[in-house]
Chains A and B, each alone.
Chain A
Amino acid sequence: MDGSLSTVGIIIGASSASIPIIIAAGIGGTLANGISNTLSAFSAERTDKYQELRKVEDAMVDKELKGSLVERWMHKRTVVAGTVDGFATVIGGLLPIMPYLAGMKTHTMFVSIGMVIVSVSFVGIYLGKISRRNILISAMKMAVYAAIVAGIVYLTQSMIVSS
């Protein structure tokens, strides 16, 4: 969701430029976002896991877990979590660029926005399902959030371009 919303923001912002520039900006932004998310997820997960490791060491009284399977296990989970986070951001970020890559000539930006709103709704359905809440309301909430983001960026872009 993070990837697709930020990329749609880039696309809306660059919408008055040529198609190749929009694609380049979109892909560049997606990659930057994905790499940044991966690195910050690594960092955050690593800090979190090592804090957890220290707590386990304290609970085990004088037991050092450095070099143990427990530490290697936690390190592996950190790597997996960071990689998944970054990968998901890139996949999400490529979605709004698809209409441009497919060679659409008209209303491409609106098709991108529509695709992002639909995909974010599916995220809402999934979140609703796992939290056992009304999935329709959850999906609609996410769709509205995405529409608000797109709306704000579109207004900002229009104001800047027209000034």
Chain B
Amino acid sequence: MQLRRLLVDVLIPHEPDIFVFAEGLCKLDKVDGVTIHVAEVDDKTKTVEITIEGEDLSFDAISQTIEDIGGSIHSIDEVAVGSRIILRK
């Protein structure tokens, strides 16, 4: 089963900034692209939506990278598996 797209809701501290998260995730194997959208900002943290696309993504590697940098996955909001991505209308 090939995981092609993943959208996760993540809580991250203000430092390091989202560029560090994006770079860290982009360096992973089979990752073609990463988009991070800031959904909410609090005093010490922010909630971001991370979208990752690629071929045969490894959720374990992605979640470990997010944890290692200092983020906390709150929910998995979207997954796309198979030979192509079917976008929600």
Contacts and interface: CB of A to CB of B under 8 A. Distances in A.
Interface of A: 55-56, 58-61, 63, 65, 68-71, 73-74
Interface of B: 11, 13, 15-16, 20, 24, 42-45, 67-70, 72
Given A68-B69, A69-B70, A73-B15, A60 B20 contact: no
22 contacts: A55-B44, A56-B13, A56-B44, A56-B45, A59-B43, A59-B44, A60-B11, A61-B72, A63-B72, A65-B13, A65-B70, A68-B69, A68-B70, A69-B20, A69-B24, A69-B68, A69-B70, A70-B69, A71-B70, A73-B15, A73-B16, A74-B15
- Dominant secondary structure at the A interface: helix
A59 B69 contact: no
Contacts of A74: 15
Which 8 A-B residue pairings sit nearest by Cβ, starting from the closest? A70-B70, A59-B44, A68-B70, A63-B72, A69-B69, A56-B13, A59-B45, A56-B44
Contacts, number: 41
Nearest to A73: B16
Given A63-B72, A65-B70, A70 B16 contact: yes
A51 to B, nearest CB: 12
B19 to A, nearest CB: 12
A108 to B, nearest CB: 48
A1 B87 CA distance: 62
Contacts of B72: 60-61, 63
Contacts of B68: 68-69
A58 B42 CA distance: 13
B31 to A, nearest CB: 18
Contacts of B67: 68
Contacts of B16: 69-70, 73
Contacts of B70: 63, 65, 68-71
A58, A68, A69: most-surrounded residue (chain B CB, <10 A): A69
